[in-house]
Amino acid sequence: MSSQDSQIMFVFPGQGSQYVGMGSDLIQDFPTARRLYEQANDILGYDLIKLCQEGPEEDLRLTRHTQPALLTHSLACLAVFRELTEDRVQPTLAAGHSLGEYCALVAAGALDFETALRLVQKRGECMGTYGDGEMLAFPLTVDHIGELAEKHFCAIAACNLPDQTVVGGRSEDLDRLTEAAGAQFPRKRPTRLKTEGAFHTFYMITAALHFRPVLDAAAMAAPTIRVLSNYSGTHHESDPATIKTRLFFQLFHPVNWIGNLQTAFADGIGTIVEFGGGLGSGPNPADKRPNLEGMVKKALRGTDYSVQHHAAINSQTLREAAETLKS
């Protein structure tokens, strides 16, 4: 490996990458994954395995269920990968999109599985109970849509790419924003996201205030590797108290994912391994593709920089990634 190739980042997706059937192959194929899911059942107090394998989809889509489900799936993938590689593939950096930031902190040793699961369970409950609004993804820069969003009482929720900006607001405000944006940018139509609220905007401030006591009380250690902060767009500090403040602010500030990617590229990351979730219409885990890979590729368009992206999101891709990277 070259010096760049040897710089490895583990990444974890956020909400929207969940699906019914998620984890069914892991539970069947790997006792390590089954034990983690059974531990999750005990911690959560409900049958997460049944919910993930059988649905219904509308229940899995509730953020109070989505967040524990995705965290468990992502960390089951990570546990299996470490087992398959005999823990010989060591990252120098970890990052996650929104909810995925908690998985990144587990991968970095700052949180243990139980603490992280209890945190995202409470986070999901608060966001579902106290949050409001909806979300739209616009194929526009933040400069193009940001001021227009504010004029319609909406707010930037995520800067995923230079030309992909997520906006949150109430349904009627988003409708008016869509009309106004369509008049200025008629070929740039937004996509409505399947979320329970306007995550990462001011509509989540009350949820964040209810979440804070649980976050404050959580046991957290200094990360053993660098972890990227969605809130700042750059590295977390090693101080757990500071990490917690950034997780608090993350709930009602935009996810700066493009900032995270730019920081990773500046760090010389040459290999990315993505754990958990999956996109695609096929019903089986093997039919799915990784959630974040497309954004990484788009972020690199027009540059001379390149990375190797390995999916580790189901039994098949985990075996393939482990075989490739441990050699």
Q: Which residues are catalytic?
A: 98, 200
| β partners of residue 135 | 168
Going 262 to 201 to 16 to 43, the CA torsion angle's sign is positive
> In Å, what is the CA distance from 327 to each residue of 51, 81, 85, 232?
37, 14, 9, 35
Q: Which of 95, 92, 98 is nearest to 106 (CA)?
A: 95
Helices (H), 131-269: 142-151, 171-184, 205-217, 240-250, 257-266
DSSP string, 154-181: -EEEEEEETTEEEEEE-HHHHHHHHHHH
Instruction: Assess contact for 192 and 75: CB atoms under 8 A.
Output: no
Please tell me the distance from the alpha carbon of residue 234 to that of residue 216, in angstroms, as a whole number: 22
| Both structure tokens of 57 | 């989809």
Alpha-carbon distance of 231 to 77, in angstroms, equals 25
Of 79, 70, 91, give the one whose Cα is nearest residue 29: 79
